[in-house]
Amino acid sequence: HHAVRQQAGVFDVSHMAVVDVGGQQARAFLSRLFANDIRTLRAPGTGLYTCMLNQVGGVIDDAIVYQVVPDQYRVVFNAGHFDRDWEWINNHTHDFAVELQHRTDLALLAVQGPMACERASQALPNHLQADALALKRFQCLHRDGWFIARTGYTGEDGWEIVVPSNQVTELWQTLVDNQIQPCGLGARDSLRLEAGFNLAGVDMDESVTPCESNLAWTIAWDDKEREFIGRSTLERRLVDGFDQCLIGLALLQRGVLRAGQRVYLDDEIIGEVTSGSFSPVLNCGIGFARTREIAAGTRCAVEIRGKQLPAIVHEPPFVHRGRAKIKIPA
């Protein structure tokens, strides 16, 4: 955890699913499939974060979509429920001239941290180093079998690097040899919580919308003619408003937040924790909870092992670029 916040770490995230989408109607298909508008990707080498919704606006999964070349896109999914994702995607191709390829031949490493790109560049072929270092956030390059994107799931700078599976062991060792610390998925979870990033299937699922998950900003409404899946239901629900939201919580006493713990306000149960962990930067328990609307700064309580421990509501992120965004009251 501290390696990523202070220097550089590498994660094997090859469990994530890479899908290549091509064909004359690839753009139109993805514009229908995702709530964010991939048509805003006007040039190769650009990407955006989005959610894939069901017919009632619930979150099936989240993804990053990159335009590799015109009419050719790469989508990287959280792979926790990819069999379901893959079935859903294929069931919606019928009206579009598109080709889908699940790239099981590829592996994905995430190098993250303030020194990650500088150190990882030494593991790249010489002719790619300058262009990779010049990438801005959510930009990518795809060349000579390398796919490099300036993205991540930690709140730090870094790259996600996709290579053929038969090359990943050598790449991993080269990264480690360049003073990049190997990290596990436990650290990735505490890092993403500090950064305020949701985990699909845990903090959000098919029963809740992006509007109830701090992700309303990922819905592109501007083009009224764009009928992305779930739009009509979301528009109706926006009129009535939503009765729940996803909040950030920080414990004010020693303890760790875990999914399912009940959240109280004035001795009334108002929701429950969706995910949590110990924050090494803040030195306290942090997490997300699904509750009714509640203002940042509000004191509440979380039931842990039969005791109500005090907590404070905080609007994520908790940590940004290694610096605490919340001061825990004494």
The CATH code of the domain that includes 123 is: 3.30.1360.120
User: Residue 324: which CATH number?
Assistant: 2.40.30.110
Residue 202 inside a domain? The answer is no
Last residue of a domain, one of 159, 193, 227: 193
What does the alpha-carbon distance between residue 329 and residue 67 come to, in Å, rounded to a whole number? 45
What does the alpha-carbon distance between residue 45 and residue 140 come to, in Å, rounded to a whole number? 5
Same domain, 253 and 151: no
Q: What band does 58 get if pLDDT is binned at 50, 70 and 90?
A: very high
Instruction: Enumerate the β-bridge partners of residue 302.
Output: 263, 309
Distances (CA, A) of 225 to 219, 232, 294: 14, 11, 34
What does the alpha-carbon distance between residue 149 and residue 289 come to, in Å, rounded to a whole number? 31
Strands 72-77 and 99-102: unpaired
Q: What band does 327 get if pLDDT is binned at 50, 70 and 90?
A: confident
In the prediction, which pLDDT does 108 show? 98
Please write the tens of the pLDDT for every residue from 249-270.
999 999 999 999 999 999 999 9
What does the alpha-carbon distance between residue 82 and residue 300 come to, in Å, rounded to a whole number? 36
Judge whether residue 329 has pLDDT over 80: no
Task: Find, among 216, 300, 228, 209, the residue nearest to 257 by Cα.
Answer: 300
Same domain, 165 and 272: no
Q: Which of 10-19, 79-88, 109-118, 208-217 has the lowest mean pLDDT?
A: 79-88
Mean pLDDT value across the chain? 97
Task: Find, among 247, 320, 328, 329, the residue nearest to 283 by Cα.
Answer: 328
Judge whether residue 213 has pLDDT over 70: yes
What's the structural domain count of the chain?
A: 2
In terms of residue numbers, what domain contains 315? 243-330
Same domain, 68 and 186: yes
Same domain, 172 and 253: no
